[in-house]
Homo-oligomer: A and B are copies of this chain.
Amino acid sequence: MSFDRLIEKIDAMQNPTVAGLDPKLEYITDDIKKRAFEQFGGGLDGAAAAVLEWGKGMIDALCDIVPAVKPQLAYYERFGWQGVKCLTETIEYAKEKGMFVIADGKRNDIGSTMEAYSDAYLGNIEIPDGVIEPFGADALTVNGYLGADGINQPLKLCDKYDKGIFVLVKTSNPSSGQLQDKLLENGNSVSVEMGNLCRELGEESRKASKYGYSAIGAVVGATYPEQLTALRKEFPGMFFLVPGYGAQGGGASDIIGAFDENGRGAIVNSSRAIICAWKKRPDVDWQTAAREEALSMKKAINEALGR
């Protein structure tokens, strides 16, 4: 039911940022990989073990200063089912440490199939042993190209289990405008039309929320600051997940438009800048490098927000 839970975590830490977990082996220090491959072999088991140790270490380094973590499912799936097992354990660990977990899977399908994705990431399934949460994330990113059918299914679980979804509205990548910026006959861009659909579907959950944000949030990239500002004004009831900060080019001044007058309404993601910080910091260990980068991002955003 809305993003109240996430907003309160952000407020408590005074940090509207989320750390993106994009586990590529080249982002992981040699000693972790060496240990994992020695113990679990040089196959996918070993790779997944390295990713798990890395993910837990990253969570340890950040969990008291960063409210949320965003595992990117593609990078876990790249290590096969062993990577997906590691994703499950990483999510579990992040939740134990009190972090809000956004599963970045950009899932989408027809209604009946979207129900299965929703059960997997936000809900649960009943099997003989009882009710089990397959992944147990707090939020899921969703692609809304199929219309309401693909959004209403996860929304049901958001209401039931106090979860949220972020629907792709305006993405951070260079070619996002090829479809999303196209103007419709009614004068709206495709991304605004997507936003309108989300606003309409999320209206009931917004009414039930404490801070005025519905359970249907939006992904809006930091790399298009003018659109970010315009979309914030257009959709005051939608909480924004803002990718593209840091390595993709967005800076603190680019994302202030994502926030409301109370400094709420958005969470800014940084993946590579945080997780690869150690490569530019031979003076400290990888966890310290990630933590200090996260603190410097927090500071830069709070300063840009004038606080």
**Residues of chain A whose beta carbon lies under 8 Å from any beta carbon of chain B:** 22, 24-25, 37, 41-44, 46-47, 72, 74-75, 77-81, 83-85, 87-88, 106-111, 113-114, 116-117, 119-121, 125, 127-129, 132, 134-135, 143-150, 168, 171-180, 182-185, 190, 193-194, 197, 243, 248
Contact = CB atoms under 8 A, between A and B. Distances in A.
28 contacts: A37-B128, A43-B127, A44-B132, A44-B134, A72-B109, A72-B113, A74-B113, A74-B116, A74-B117, A77-B135, A78-B125, A81-B87, A81-B88, A106-B109, A111-B173, A143-B143, A145-B168, A146-B168, A146-B180, A147-B175, A148-B178, A149-B173, A178-B197, A179-B193, A179-B194, A179-B197, A183-B184, A190-B190
A108 B74 CA distance: 9
Given A129-B42, A147-B177, A108 B108 contact: yes
A88, A129, A175: most-surrounded residue (chain B CB, <10 A): A175
Contacts of A120: 74, 77-78, 80
Contacts of A128: 37, 42-43, 46
A173 B193 contact: no
A188 B182 CA distance: 11
Q: How many copies does the complex hold?
A: 2
A132 B43 CA distance: 8
A117 B42 contact: no
B78 A147 contact: no
A134 B178 CA distance: 31
A78 to B, nearest CB: 5
Given A174-B149, A175-B146, A175-B148, A135 B182 contact: no
Nearest to A169: B145
A42 B128 CA distance: 5
Contact of A80 (B88, B149, B185, B197): B88
Contact of A145 (B117, B134, B143): B143
B129 A179 contact: no
A60 to B, nearest CB: 22
B43 A147 contact: no
Contact of A147 (B74, B117, B180): B180
Given A108-B143, A145-B179, A113 B75 contact: yes
Contacts of A117: 74, 77-78
